[in-house]
Structure 1
């Protein structure tokens, strides 16, 4: 694997971005032709910062308008990497202690006294998914409430309240169990600790001005250049957005991945976390102490990112997203020093698998 990647790293300057773009284009053209999604967009950030974009298919199947490099999609859970980054930056600035109990910030919430294991949960356990708080998205009461709530949406306290009484998924700090509720709680901690709303924090950090320049918070239903999302329906795919407008209020995703973005922005984020930019120190913290999936500690979930380490000392950072009829995936590979992100407007599209296939294809094309 890494022999091929090393060859690719050496070949970047000679092959240029045209070869990479051609490789991407052929793969995504084939995927759209095979029905993986109505439209797919991919961006690669090269070691010198150059962006290679490739697109295929339709952003709007009614008007048959094509996907462009500026077409936007919902990030889904890739946005968790942003929330974790905010938490780490605040911790580095002395405004948060990642190992402090969350009771320091959340003990006055209306659901607090019903939350299991509440006194054992620290802030760090939320972004690394070891707190054991169940995922509200899998709660039957949340699902039933959504059927009758219409366009009112759910506030963060609402979503946590659905699972506060539920059995924990494990002992705090001693297991891994993915849960959107962890990030909703983390978002509340950030707000209490700073006196700023989560969206104000996004603006004030400069992240959306300097790195993710084409990204906006998922707040409301109308978004410029938003592709139509799709989920499985009785007669094929069913739209979740039409004419750049979501059919439902999806604000509840919030700090768990509530962003409207492009693959280029996601790739720039992961390049910044894994590379040498202003966010690199935070990225090092985010991948340093992982919640390991195996005894060797070679793979696991850090703070807002999946991490895979290799014997060579190299690593990959990644995250996927599945929300509202859109799929996303982003990764950074330290061997080649490239970042890649892919987004599509169909829930049925396996974005993480496709992202890894693309980076392998790019490496093979440089041999």
Structure 2
């Protein structure tokens, strides 16, 4: 569950349900902003087109280039808040024997799950049932080291200092789809806290899926209700999100996008030996991992959704439909991801923010085998962008620079288009 949109730190540093991917991208977006051309240069070849048409054409070209660089498929949805959203679908020819990709296909959202978990906590805060200052010991007595000094806020903004459970070898069979055991939030938390804390609570920032395993356990303890039902009753049903749900097994509820990873023979050498052999149907040098169980992602990365559903959620969240103003302000209260860059990316409660030459975005990303997703919006939720690449290991381990470069170009162009601005020049 990495993040590739914001500063990358693999949804689990190497496996954080891809919030890492989103976070990671944010950082890479800023790092690569020097490649931006002036609006005039960016649209020079499209002088006869309107700004919207030029941006749409460039996005489609960059999506094709991303597939040509090695992505099995790409889905994107960009809404600049002033017209009909642009939907883009591209897929590699070899994937067509499995299914014809559509913009409304369900995908695994990985670490974007964290944004929904934080929303649920803040709803309970608004109802007076929990407080962000509550020590985790209050709700999970004896379950978490330093539990008397780790608050719910620290869990939500990744300053608790807990080891990331996805780094433990016990998770590898599940990550590879070779172990279908049922992982509850409590079991995932237990794996993470077997390891020594990384630092004293509140003293540093470090992305850890274990933080959200603890959050999930707290949510179920406080409400007496499963995360499946909490997501359904408090978010999905009220917003009419028909294809959004918390997954506890490999079952899909609607048409879904197939996600892929290279097979063992084609896996880049930078990928660790223990994470090279995914379960699933093999063909064309890849493994179809879409039938594998994402339950190991738990409260840190098990959500399923579509580009349109998630855009609706992002708009509802950032516009104040899901949270009162006081709790929305808490969600946006950030800590630096890198203290050496005080003006760099910040992480709030289940969301990250970063500045680009086209505007400041809020969002998250997620990475889980077969799916790298990035969801961003503006501060008010009036503009949204969702970007989905149907493969993830390349972003986790820096194993495919060509694909990474194409993805960064597409992501930055999409974010600029979301802000209604000229897309960056493609430096290809």
TM-score after normalising by structure 2: 0.71
> What is the alpha-carbon distance in structure 1 between the residues aligned to residue 57 and residue 299 of structure 2?
36
Structure 2, unmatched stretches of 5+, are 1-32, 43-48, 268-276, 282-286, 396-403
1:364 maps to 422
Offset, 1:173: 1.2
Whole-angstrom CA distance in 2 between matches of 1:360 and 1:311: 8
Cα distance in structure 2, aligned partners of 1:285 and 1:59: 46
Q: 1:335 to 1:192 in 2, by over 3 A?
A: closer
Match of 1:168 among 191, 197, 214: 197
User: Which runs of structure 2 are paired with 1:194-273 in the superposition (5 Å)?
Assistant: 194-210=223-239, 212-223=241-252, 224-236=254-266, 246-273=290-317
Q: Output the aligned Cα RMSD.
A: 3.7
Unaligned stretches of 5+ residues in structure 1: 9-13
Q: How many Å separate the matches in 1 of 2:83 and 2:123?
A: 23
Secondary structure at the aligned position of 1:124 is classed as helix
Decide which structure has greater strand share: 1
1:129 positional shift: 0.5
Structure 2 vs 1, CA of residues 48 and 235 (structure 1 numbering), >3 Å: closer, same or farther?
Answer: same
Alignment CA distance shift 1:140-1:221 (3 Å): closer
Once the two structures are superposed, residues 70-126 of structure 1 have per-residue CA deviations (whole angstroms, 9 ceiling, x without a partner) of 112110101111111111121112121011111111116xxx2xx432221111111
- State the Cα deviation string for residues 3-46 of structure 1 (Å, max 9, x = none): 989xx9xxxxx9586554333212111211222x1110001123
Q: Work out the CA distance in 1 between the residues paired with 2:107 and 2:356.
A: 32
Q: 2:63 aligns with which of 28, 35, 51?
A: 28
Residues 1:51 and 2:97 aligned together: no
How many angstroms does 1:317 deviate by?
0.9
In 2, are the aligned partners of 1:126 and 1:182 still within 8 Å (CA)? yes
| Other structure's SS at 2:261 match | strand
Shift of 1:137: 0.4
Matched, 1:321 2:377: no
With the length of structure 1 as denominator, give the TM-score of the two structures.
0.82
The answer on whether the counterparts of 2:113 and 2:301 sit within 8 Å (CA) in structure 1 is yes
Matched, 1:341 2:370: no
Report the CA distance between 1:305 and its aligned residue.
Answer: 0.9
Go from structure 1 to structure 2 and tell me whether the alpha carbon gap of 1:366 and 1:352 turns closer, same or farther (over 3 Å shift): closer
Deviation at 1:170, TM superposition (A): 1.2
Match of 1:150 among 179, 200, 207: 179
Alpha-carbon deviation of 1:234?
2.4
